[in-house]
Amino acid sequence: MGHMTICGAGIFGLSIAWEALRRGTSVTVIDPNGVGAGASGGVVGALQPHTPEPWNDKKQFQFDSLAMAPTFWDAVEATSGISSGYAQAGRLQPLPTERAVDLARVRQPAAAARWADQGDWEIIERPEGGWCPPSATGLYVRDTLSAILNPRRACESLAAAIRARGGRIVASGRLEGPVVWATGWQGLLDLSRQVGKPVGNGVKGQAALLQHNAAGQPQIYAEGLHIIPHIDGTVAIGSTSERAFDDPTTTDAQLDELIGKAGDLVPVLHGARVLHRWAGVRPRAQSRAPLLGPWPDRPGHFIANGGFKIGFGMAPGCAEVLCDLILEDKDRIPGDFHTRELMG
């Protein structure tokens, strides 16, 4: 059966553990800070595809991973008994200029061709009701491929499912068998020091959870802001992107501005009670794509990092291809994601 050790109990580490258990490999996950203690323990949870035109291998991989998500989270929830908050609720985006409208019209047939029966991309007029931001053109893109989940609950659900299947999640322990390092932004800094060049860094994000029940509505992306109506009757908004920061976990006036902006875009959120203010540091690889594959010059050690803003959407696919490599010696990792690029 074999054994695998995974360092890091964020979304990448937990997803890889779940996939390895599914294939009959025993697993120990080690994280001194606990499940979802880093960027994976946030509040936003937007699973969004890239634009359908132009197309590339990264977009195809993300699309395939998003298409895997319903089956992935159904199996996790059935095993754990804990809701991940996953729902394929779709997304609404205003088209603020005529150029944006023209681009959307080009992308509409591309989405029909690329996404097939997994989701629709359509240009619509302003929908009725209060769950809608303004649009200078009066037009919007609505897609049905985008999904949401509750990041903290999703990690808790995965952790419970792993334990139910016999996996261990511990604060410390021996490294046995193949070792996967899914250690977030600090792991990227460690890797940068080893290979002698920048591999990636951390980008701080601040987000908030509001008391407002818009369950069943699509997520909104407008003016760089994500507004996520979770199925538990809360709404998440975020996030800032801060390259320079003193404290990775504190919130400040930048988050206050986001909360105010959310109310300006969607007036029904004005005055909503703030349930939680969150800050964390997301791991961003230099390529902006996930970083997967063997750790250079460390036989038997592997990297799974760089999820940045798309880690939850990419996790099912990343877990599958990394387990293919480690357990079956099949290398299906896309070139742009592969750690061999570090040696170039």
pLDDT at 344 over 60: no
Q: pLDDT confidence of 343, banded at 50, 70, 90?
A: low
Tell me: do 291 and 165 sit in the same domain.
yes
Cα–Cα distance between 22 and 316 in angstroms, integer? 12
Choose the final residue of a domain: 282, 307, 322: 282
For range 177-187, the mean pLDDT: 97
User: Residue 53 — pLDDT band, cuts 50, 70, 90?
Assistant: confident
- Structure tokens given for 240: 């800032």
8-45 pLDDT tens trace: 999 999 999 999 999 999 999 999 999 999 999 999 99
Domain assignment present for 293: yes
Residues 35, 83: Cα–Cα separation, whole Å: 16
- Mean pLDDT over all residues of the chain? 95
| Residue 55 pLDDT level (bands cut at 50, 70, 90) | confident
Give yes or no for residue 342 having a pLDDT over 80: no
Q: Please indicate, yes or no, whether residues 189 and 245 belong to a single structural domain of this protein.
A: no
End of a domain among 233, 250, 282? 282
Provide the percentage of residues in the chain whose pLDDT is more than 90: 89
Q: How far apart are CA 191 and CA 341, in angstroms?
A: 13
**Of 24, 42, 28, 25, nearest in space to 308 by CA:** 42
pLDDT of residue 341 exceeding 90, the answer is no
> Are 316 and 332 members of one domain?
yes
195 and 278 belong to one structural domain:
no
Q: Please report where in the chains the tokens 């070792």 appear, as a residue.
A: 179
Give the model's pLDDT for residue 160.
Answer: 98
- Residue 166: pLDDT band by 50, 70, 90 thresholds? very high
| Residue 122 belongs to a domain | no
User: What integer pLDDT is reported at residue 157 of this predicted model?
Assistant: 98
Is residue 48 a part of any domain in this protein?
A: yes
Q: Render pLDDT for 291-320 as a digit per residue (tens, 0 to 9).
A: 999 998 899 999 999 999 999 999 999 999
Residue 3: the pLDDT is 97
Contact 209, 278 (CB under 8 A): yes
* pLDDT bracket for residue 212 (50, 70, 90): very high
Domain, as residue range, for 315: 3-85+145-200+286-343
Rounded distance between C-alpha atoms, residue 173 and residue 180, angstroms: 14
What does the pLDDT average to over 233-259?
95
Model-wide pTM > 0.85: yes
Kindly tell me if the per-residue pLDDT of 66 is higher than 80. yes
Strand duo 234-238 + 139-143: pairing: unpaired
Tokens representing residue 113 in the block: 């061709």
What percent of the chain has pLDDT above 70?
Answer: 99
CATH number of the domain that 240 lies in? Answer: 3.30.9.10
Q: Are residues 241 and 261 in the same domain?
A: yes
Q: Which two tokens stand for residue 65?
A: 């991973």
Question: First-to-last CA distance in the chain?
Answer: 35
Give the H or E element holding residue 341: none
If you average pLDDT over residues 198-222, what whole number do you get?
Answer: 97
The C-alpha atoms of residue 297 and residue 304 are separated, in whole angstroms, by 16
What is the mean predicted confidence (pLDDT) over 83-99?
97
Is the backbone peptide bond immediately before 239 cis, with ω within 30 degrees of 0?
Answer: yes
- Same-domain check for residues 155 and 278: no
Domain boundary among 282, 304, 329: 282
- 139 has a pLDDT exceeding 90: yes
Q: Do both 33 and 73 map to the same domain?
A: yes
Average pLDDT over residues 147-172: 98
- pLDDT confidence of residue 1: 66
Do 271 and 205 belong together in one domain?
Answer: yes
> Averaged over 263-270, what is the pLDDT?
96
Judge whether 249 lies within some domain: yes
Residues 76 and 16 both lie in one domain: yes
pLDDT reported for residue 176: 96
Cα separations (Å) of 35 from 146, 173, 227, 260, 264? Answer: 25, 15, 25, 31, 35
Dist CA 155 CA 84 (whole Å): 8
Q: What is the mean pLDDT of residues 63-70?
A: 95
Assign residue 329 the CATH number of its domain.
3.50.50.60
